[in-house]
């Protein structure tokens, strides 16, 4: 009976210690800047305000219009490329290739990889060089860029204005200004704001100590102890400008000519859904998540991360794979005689 009591007491003690360990890890993660994803658009607004990012008021009507425009191939000169081409919502919000391919089958001239669109509203900056501060500003870039959608702003407005259904919708939402390039980008940005993907890691941060397994918690512990949190922190575990090649030369640095912004800073990619967004790095040169982890240890931290350590960290990173919002492919307006013809 005494032995049985001791065993029960020991079991309870282990549970208590285990629970305390998980609880302390949660508190430490929060103290280092980790935060769970916002539950609604009010929460998104709060994060934008914290980051000093201005955005127009969100509305479901804007988001629905933006969804159509996100899938609208006529916003490209060829009539076959949409935002979803490079930021495919069925492929983790990316295109699954090393360098984006655009108009006339042109590969990105800088050999830049397409970042995920999921949770991108929570980034401090947009584009690899951080040149855009908002999703609306970001949306304009690919539409006009010759190697991407190749549609000048004036032509984009002309195309959308040739479709009565769009004209009516823009007038209802934006009033007298109607179809403008700014409003096109704003609508797309409002749709992209809805692409939030809550994961088991968010449940863990919110206090569910069993949301992560012991092995996954061990991976998080290593992620913190190795110093990965230096750049990959905040609600998006990335999304801010950081120095690159801090400790060593990136082994594929000669692939493409991208060197960051004027100060050599690079936007740190979000790690949310990272298990779904291979290949990795700005030039998409590494296809294995485990190899990417080890390369970051060398390049950024000046340490060697062993294969077993990388495997453990990788287990944690898989907990960042989130639930995707259900997006129904929209039925788009039929072209009219006034709609500019595609140019291949």
- Work out the burial of residue 88: count CB atoms within 10 Å of its CB; fewer than 13 is exposed, 13-18 middle, 19 or more buried: middle
Work out whether the CA dihedral 229, 231, 233, 237 comes out positive or negative.
Answer: negative
Which SS3 state, helix, strand or coil, does residue 102 take?
Answer: strand
Q: Do the Cβ atoms of 320 and 274 come closer than 8 Å?
A: yes
φ/ψ of residue 241, rounded to 5: -80, 130
φ/ψ of residue 62, rounded to 5: -60, -45
Tell me, what DSSP letter sits at residue 314? H
Q: Do the Cβ atoms of 127 and 134 come closer than 8 Å?
A: no
Q: Do the Cβ atoms of 197 and 172 come closer than 8 Å?
A: no
Q: How many CB atoms lie within 10 A of CB 183?
A: 22
Work out whether the CA dihedral 108, 110, 116, 120 comes out positive or negative.
Answer: negative
Q: What are the helix (H) ranges across the chain?
A: 2-31, 41-50, 60-70, 83-86, 135-144, 153-161, 164-174, 181-192, 200-205, 214-225, 289-296, 307-318
Which SS3 state, helix, strand or coil, does residue 241 take?
Answer: strand
- Work out the burial of residue 40: count CB atoms within 10 Å of its CB; fewer than 13 is exposed, 13-18 middle, 19 or more buried: exposed
CA atoms within 13 Å, Cβ hemisphere of 328: 5
* Cis, peptide link before residue 279, omega less than 30° from 0: yes
Annotation marks residue 148 as catalytic? yes
Active site residue: 46, 61, 144, 148, which one? 148
Catalytic center residues: 148
């Amino acid at each position: 009976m005494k032995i049985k009591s001791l065993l029960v007491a020991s079991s309870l003690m282990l549970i208590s210690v285990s629970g305390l360990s998980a609880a302390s890890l949660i508190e430490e993660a929060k103290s280092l800047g980790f935060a769970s994803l916002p539950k609604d658009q009010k929460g998104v607004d709060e994060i934008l305000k914290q980051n000093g990012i201005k955005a127009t008021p969100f509305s479901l009507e804007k988001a629905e219009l933006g969804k159509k425009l996100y899938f609208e191939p006529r916003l490209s000169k060829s009539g076959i490329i949409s935002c979803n081409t490079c930021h495919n919502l069925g492929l983790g919000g990316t295109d699954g290739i090393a360098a984006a391919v655009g108009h006339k089958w042109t590969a990105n001239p800088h050999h830049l990889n397409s970042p995920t669109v999921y949770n991108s509203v929570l980034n401090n900056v947009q584009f690899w060089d951080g040149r855009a501060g908002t999703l609306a500003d970001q949306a304009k870039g690919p539409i006009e860029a010759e190697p991407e959608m190749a549609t000048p702003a004036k032509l984009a407005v002309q195309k959308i204005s040739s479709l009565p259904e769009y004209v009516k919708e823009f007038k209802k939402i934006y009033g007298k200004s109607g179809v403008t390039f700014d409003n096109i980008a704003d609508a797309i940005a409002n749709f992209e704001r809805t692409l939030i993907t809550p994961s088991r890691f968010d449940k863990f941060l919110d206090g569910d100590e069993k949301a992560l397994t012991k092995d996954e918690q061990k991976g998080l512990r290593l992620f913190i102890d190795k110093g990965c949190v230096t750049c990959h922190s905040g609600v998006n575990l990335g999304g801010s400008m950081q120095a690159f090649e801090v400790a060593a030369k990136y082994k594929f640095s000669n692939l493409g000519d991208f060197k960051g912004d004027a100060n050599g800073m690079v936007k740190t990619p979000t790690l949310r859904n990272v298990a779904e967004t291979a290949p990795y790095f700005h030039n998409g040169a590494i296809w294995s998540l485990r190899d990417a982890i080890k390369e970051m240890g060398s390049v950024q931290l000046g340490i060697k991360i062993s294969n077993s350590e990388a495997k453990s960290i990788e287990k944690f990173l898989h907990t960042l794979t989130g639930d995707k919002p259900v997006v129904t492919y929209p039925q788009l307006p039929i072209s009219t005689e006034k709609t500019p013809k595609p140019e291949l």
